[in-house]
Amino acid sequence: MCGLAGLLLAGPQLHGEELGALAQSMGAALGHRGPDDDGTWVDAQAGIALAHRRLSILDLSPLGHQPMASADGRYVLAYNGEIYNFAQLRAALAALGHRFRGHSDTEVLLAAVVEWGLEDALVRCNGMFAIALWDRREQCLWLARDRVGKKPLYYGWAGQALVFGSELKALWRHPDFDNGVDRDALTLLLRLDYIPAPYCIHERAFKMMPGRILRLDAQAVAAGAAAHRPEQAQRPFWSAREAMQAALLQPFGGDDAAAEERLDGLLRDAVALRMVADVPVGVFLSGGTDSSLVASMMQAQSAQPVHSFSIGFAGSHHDEAPLAREVATHLGTDHTELYVSGADALAVVPQLPEMFDEPFADASQVPTALVARLARGGVTVALSGDGGDELFFGYTRYQRALRNWRLLQHVPAPLRAAMAHAARGRGESSRTGGLSAVLAEAGARGIGDVYRNRISRWRDPAAAVPGSHEPDSFYSLADPLHGAGTPADAMMLADFVSYLPDDLLCKVDRTTMAVSLEARAPLLDWRVAEFAWSLPMSMKLRDGTSKYLLKRVLRRYLPEPMVYRGKRGFGAPVGEWLRGELRGWAEDLLDPARMAREGMLDAGAVRGVWEAFGRGQRKWHTHLWNVLMFLAWQAHWRRARGDAAAS
């Protein structure tokens, strides 16, 4: 796990020393992602420079140093991530005549590109990665991101240069990166709590989408951001929608016992692959189905007690520590538990803008940051249970959306049209439930519209951002699966494509990398995902039990009382914070004069929500948290730009 950065010019505009110094500065901004080694590579004549920061996981020797050149000298690679099946790929490449100096997966990846080309090489890789690859023969830069979107990669224009990096703070180091706030992207933050790829909070900047590759050369750089269309330029080497559609056309034909055996085998192999490291490995353990299953499979395949980590919140319904402790005791893991106070959690809040670089408002970022810090005290790699809800119908909101969609289909079309008309102009009132909530879904074209309403924070975010137009996202589709599968499948696909990479995986990446910890998610092995998509709905939800098949597998490792218990989630008491210790912080950021001066948000709309929250109206804390995360980020961004200009 590492950090990468670099820049590509439209021509040889800088001497090698200047180009190298700029790339080195961009890489230094990512030092937390890779504290063990750093390197730069420059070709001034081609106008390209790559920088890398290394967190040593495999082959701790200098033979894993990056940027790394291929054996034939054609390619130079800066890469962040892990190729879990590198040993199998290495054996196949050795049989084809390739020779290796060290034992890193980086060297194997380069040899795979030489042998099969970039796209075919990535299709063969089982891993998580963000890649910057320079082709010296074709004089072009390739950017790529793994299938699911575990590893981040930003790119954008800074004056006449194209800049790219694992986090925005690397792009900020370029003196010409003065790109302002993209108002349209801000509306997506207000709706979703995050900004989905390919959008970015900055103008003239973008994110790589999962499963995509992008080719850039001097001509593309010279054409500028105005000519760039990320949805077309980023070409898929793997598509979640197409993979799900293919799986649905070839459904699993076995019974429960056969499906359980198949899933157990796939998950055990996925876990085993992710336990390979030359450094200590542990697991985040919450006591829920997903993390308990990962911990169980790790312990079943380890000769030593596995390191497990959990945190608890005293006196809070968010406290999962007792559940985790019970599982750890049964499995015999080497368990570390930390109870944190409200003050401990609140101390993290001022660090969030720097940790995330882009405004991000999933409040579970706070406990995730705390458990990452705890785990880093004992291990360098930690496995997580991310992905189970999106693949096995784990969210209760799925069931609520299905219920509402079924009810709507029994309402005559003229009445639905009248209800939809009555909903216009009600603004954010549908967030608080009641008649407004019913009317808000009346005009739904399909399950996509119903589900979008269920997961939205601000229902009309453009009204709170003057001069904005909310862009389409995956959640804008009436039917995300384009006619294939069931409404349940369509919702799970939407979350897999958007919520999973841009919220959950972003949260885990930034909080773990902030403390130089690598996180791995076995449930998101692409083989597990494609198998899950082939399963009938009855193996995901049965008799009111969600994640039915996952829990059948978990029964192999834990007693039933530990398997079948309610889901608590991994949240944070934001409403309590905003009424208590964070009230002064929030009041300062939400000052009407300050918001008017900044000019990004409609001060009247925001203050109306703040005042309703103060009067005790429920649910407004989610609206307020994403506004506050933006305002706190904006202040941080301005300070960072000021520091860059001063240096």
* pLDDT for residue 226 is more than 80: yes
Distance CA 25, CA 27 (A): 5
Arithmetic mean of pLDDT, 433-451: 79
Element (H, E) at 507: helix 506-513
* pLDDT for residue 426 is more than 70: no
pLDDT at 616: 86
pLDDT at 418: 79
Least confident of 80-89, 184-193, 217-226, 425-434: 425-434
pLDDT at 475: 96
Tell me which DSSP letter residue 220 carries.
Answer: H
CA dist 582 → 138, 350, 515, 615 (Å): 54, 11, 25, 17
* pLDDT for residue 227 is more than 80: yes
* pLDDT for residue 416 is more than 80: no
Per cent of the chain over pLDDT 70 is 94
Higher pLDDT, 41 or 102: 41
Arithmetic mean of pLDDT, 448-455: 93
pLDDT-based confidence at 412, cuts 50/70/90? confident
* pLDDT for residue 568 is more than 70: no
pLDDT at 317: 62
Q: And the tokens for 494?
A: 């939407």
Distance CA 226, CA 400 (A): 41
pTM over 0.75: yes
* pLDDT for residue 427 is more than 70: no
pLDDT at 389: 96
Least confident of 168-177, 279-288, 408-417, 608-617: 408-417
pLDDT-based confidence at 435, cuts 50/70/90? low
* pLDDT for residue 338 is more than 80: yes
Per-residue pLDDT reduced to its tens digit, 612-625: 999 987 789 999 99
pLDDT at 641: 79
Delineate the domains of the chain, giving CATH numbers in brackets. Answer: 2-238 (3.60.20.10), 251-393+499-563 (3.40.50.620), 396-492 (no CATH), 574-646 (no CATH)
pLDDT at 536: 97
pLDDT at 11: 86
pLDDT-based confidence at 333, cuts 50/70/90? very high
Distance CA 201, CA 180 (A): 8
Per-residue pLDDT reduced to its tens digit, 358-396: 999 999 999 999 999 999 999 999 999 999 999 999 999
pLDDT-based confidence at 425, cuts 50/70/90? low
CA dihedral 532, 536, 542, 547 (to 10 degrees): 10
* Alpha helices by DSSP H, 96-146: 105-116, 118-124
Give the mean pLDDT of the chain.
93
Q: And the tokens for 120?
A: 């075919």
Q: What's at 305, amino acid-wise?
A: P
Q: And the tokens for 18?
A: 């200047």
Active site residues: 2
Arithmetic mean of pLDDT, 73-90: 96
pLDDT at 58: 66
Least confident of 176-185, 418-427, 541-550: 418-427
Higher pLDDT, 416 or 210: 210
Q: Is residue 451 within 8 Å of 494, Cβ to Cβ?
A: yes
Per-residue pLDDT reduced to its tens digit, 123-140: 999 999 999 999 999 999
pLDDT at 246: 97
In the chain, how many H helices and how many E strands?
Answer: 30, 19
Q: What's at 496, amino acid-wise?
A: F
Distance CA 560, CA 538 (A): 20
* pLDDT for residue 46 is more than 80: yes
* pLDDT for residue 470 is more than 70: yes
pLDDT at 177: 95
Q: Is residue 297 within 8 Å of 283, Cβ to Cβ?
A: no
pLDDT at 103: 86
pLDDT at 62: 74
Name 311's Cβ contacts closer than 8 Å, sequence gap at least 6: 321, 337, 338, 339, 340, 367, 370, 371, 374
Q: Is residue 547 within 8 Å of 540, Cβ to Cβ?
A: yes
Distance CA 546, CA 349 (A): 33
Arithmetic mean of pLDDT, 516-525: 97
Element (H, E) at 402: helix 396-408
Least confident of 98-112, 439-453, 576-590: 439-453
Least confident of 205-219, 336-350, 564-578: 564-578
pLDDT at 368: 94
pLDDT at 429: 66
Q: And the tokens for 593?
A: 């004069």
Three-state DSSP state, 241: helix
pLDDT-based confidence at 434, cuts 50/70/90? low
* pLDDT for residue 158 is more than 90: yes
* pLDDT for residue 292 is more than 80: yes
CA dist 560 → 264, 281, 321, 565, 578 (Å): 17, 27, 19, 9, 39
pLDDT at 96: 97
- Give the side-chain half-sphere CA count within 13 A for 144: 29
